Homo-oligomer: A and B are copies of this chain.
Amino acid sequence: YLENMNDRETIYTHLNVFETFNPVLPDAYKETDFTFLANIGPELQHNVIRQVKSKFIAMDTMNYWISGTLPALKQTISKVDAMIINDSEVKQLAETDNLFTGARKIQAMGPKTLIIKKGEHGSILVHNDNYFFCPAYPVENLYDPTGAGDTFAGGFMGYLAQVGSVNNTVLRQAVMVATAFASFCVEAFGVQRLKQISAADIKSRVQNLLEYIEINPQLLWEIE
């Protein structure tokens, strides 16, 4: 991560054991309703998709796969319901500087739901043709953003799995819960901070986030 804690540079990527890993899921895992494919090779992700009978599959990816294995990646993308990715990855994958143009181009590849993470600038849920903008939680003691994306995805998928259904209302709430989870991750190294918190802490930040976007929709001045 660079000094602003929002941009990063990849120094090197060693796949190590993942280079030839071919996962075989236990039968019990195949029945899971909600599957998240964390960032890894798209063919490995595709192998998992073939084995599960899920009603909602989401995936992550990264610049390494976009520039290195694009045809396989597009094949995998065409099989999922949602992508949870960074703004820079949207631009690279869709070959555009405009996030909203990019979102539509990725939707055309398959997934109708995108959750675009913008670090300290929050996230954008694109679901079919509607948007939801969620701020990042205001954190003054930012320590290390590593793992925030995976924590976000975990909170997001966990909320969907608990509710058991997917629609615009649930997706918006899931983004907010995910944001609360991620905000704790960045306050310490690794999972240190996440190990300290309770459900009440998550609830409290979700409640704050709700207040941060609360607005009276009745304008007091009727613009003429």
A→B interface (CB under 8 Å): 3-5, 97-101, 118, 120-122, 124, 130-133, 135, 138-140, 142, 159, 162-163, 169-170, 172-173, 176-177, 199, 202-203, 206, 210-217, 219-221, 223-224
Instruction: Give A39 to B94 CA distance when docked, in angstroms.
Output: 38
Contacts of A3 in B (CB 8 A): 97
Q: Determine if B215 and A131 form an interchain contact, defined as CB atoms under 8 angstroms apart.
A: no
What's the dominant secondary structure at chain A's contact region? mixed
Number of chain copies forming the complex = 2
User: Known contacts A100-B140, A221-B162, A223-B202; is A216 also within 8 Å of B172 by CB?
Assistant: yes
* Contacts A159-B221, A172-B214 known; 13 new A-B pairs at CB < 8 A: A4-B97, A99-B120, A101-B140, A121-B122, A122-B133, A130-B211, A132-B214, A133-B135, A133-B212, A172-B216, A173-B220, A176-B215, A210-B215
- 24 A–B contacts, CB within 8 A, in A order: A3-B97, A98-B140, A98-B142, A99-B120, A99-B138, A100-B138, A122-B135, A130-B211, A131-B212, A132-B213, A132-B214, A133-B212, A133-B213, A162-B221, A169-B220, A173-B220, A177-B219, A199-B223, A199-B224, A202-B223, A203-B223, A206-B219, A210-B215, A213-B215
Instruction: Give A142 to B96 CA distance when docked, in angstroms.
Output: 13
Instruction: Give A216 to B142 CA distance when docked, in angstroms.
Output: 29
Contacts of A4 in B (CB 8 A): 97
Q: What is the CB-to-nearest-CB distance from A180 to chain B, in angstroms, rounded to a whole number?
A: 9
Interface centre among A101, A140, A213 (most CB of B within 10 A): A213
